[in-house]
Amino acid sequence: MEMKFEVIPDIQTPLTPEIESVSKFIETNKEIIEAFKEYAISRSDGIGLAANQCSVNGERLNLRMVAVKTAGTDECRIAIDPKIVRLHGIKLQRIEGCLTWKGKAIVADRYYYVDVEFYTPDGELHKETHKGWQGQVWQHELNHINGIEEKVVLPGQIPNKPDIGRNDQCPCGSGKKLKKCCIVDYESWNK
């Protein structure tokens, strides 16, 4: 059976159900996992995609998995039952695009570092740390999976990012000045 994928526009993504058995999930959904990966690769307008953002043959794909592309390549990883284990480092307001909210923007607080764990389509458990924009993508996609509502704005409503000076307190919460703490991460993320 041919699967026709589409991103569902302008509707908040629902919380996806927990997976009771990862091995059973993989076995039951083998074909759809591969088809979802191919669809994510075919999209040239995004680097992350949550399964519950999509419909397949007209029905929402309410499965707990995301696809994340490696920037500048055709490589795409499928993460099954992904979880954020730890958020750390600086936390800043970010402006993001979203395939669900075309022509609009997401305004969200994101941490610079994110520790995630997920299963591959082979059933292997992976634990990884991502930083900067890659960490931001994981946080964005996991919010879709977890049904967390983001602040969606029109382009003319995008707020100015707060300006943090070198002598201001570091946004990681350490109590130190930015220049004595996370200045390298801050500057790299704000290029």
Across the strands, what pairs with 91?
111
Please check whether residue 127 is in contact with residue 85, taking contact to mean a CB–CB distance below 8 angstroms. Answer: yes
Task: Mention every residue, 6+ apart, whose C-beta is less than 8 A from residue 154.
Answer: 103, 104, 105
Residue 131 structure tokens: 């930083």
CB atoms < 10 A from the CB of 122, how many? 8
Distance separating alpha carbons of residues 66 and 134, to the nearest angstrom: 13
DSSP string, the chain: ----EEEPTTSPPPBPPPPS-HHHHHHHTHHHHHHHHHHHHH-SS-SEEEGGGEEETTEE---SEEEEEPTTSS-EEEEEEEEEEEEEEEEEEEEE--STTTT-EEEEEEEEEEEEEEE-TTS-EEEEEEEHHHHHHHHHHHHHHBTPPPEEE-GGGPPPPPP--TTSBPTTSSSSBGGGTTHHHHHHHT-
At residue 156, the pLDDT reads 87
Handedness of CA 61, 62, 64, 69 (dihedral sign): positive
CB atoms < 10 A from the CB of 156, how many? 5
Q: Is the pLDDT reported for residue 1 higher than 70?
A: no
Q: Please name the amino acid found at residue 179.
A: K
With cut-offs at 50, 70 and 90, classify the pLDDT of residue 154.
very high
- Computed over every residue of the chain, the mean pLDDT equals 94
In this predicted model, what pLDDT tens digit does every residue of 166-181 receive, in sequence order?
999 999 999 999 999 9
Distance separating alpha carbons of residues 114 and 163, to the nearest angstrom: 23
Please check whether residue 16 is in contact with residue 51, taking contact to mean a CB–CB distance below 8 angstroms. Answer: yes
At residue 41, the pLDDT reads 92
In this predicted model, what pLDDT tens digit does every residue of 10-23 receive, in sequence order?
999 999 999 999 99
In this predicted model, what pLDDT tens digit does every residue of 84-128 receive, in sequence order?
999 999 999 999 999 999 999 999 999 999 999 999 999 999 999
In this predicted model, what pLDDT tens digit does every residue of 45-94 receive, in sequence order?
889 999 999 999 999 999 999 999 987 777 899 999 999 999 999 999 99
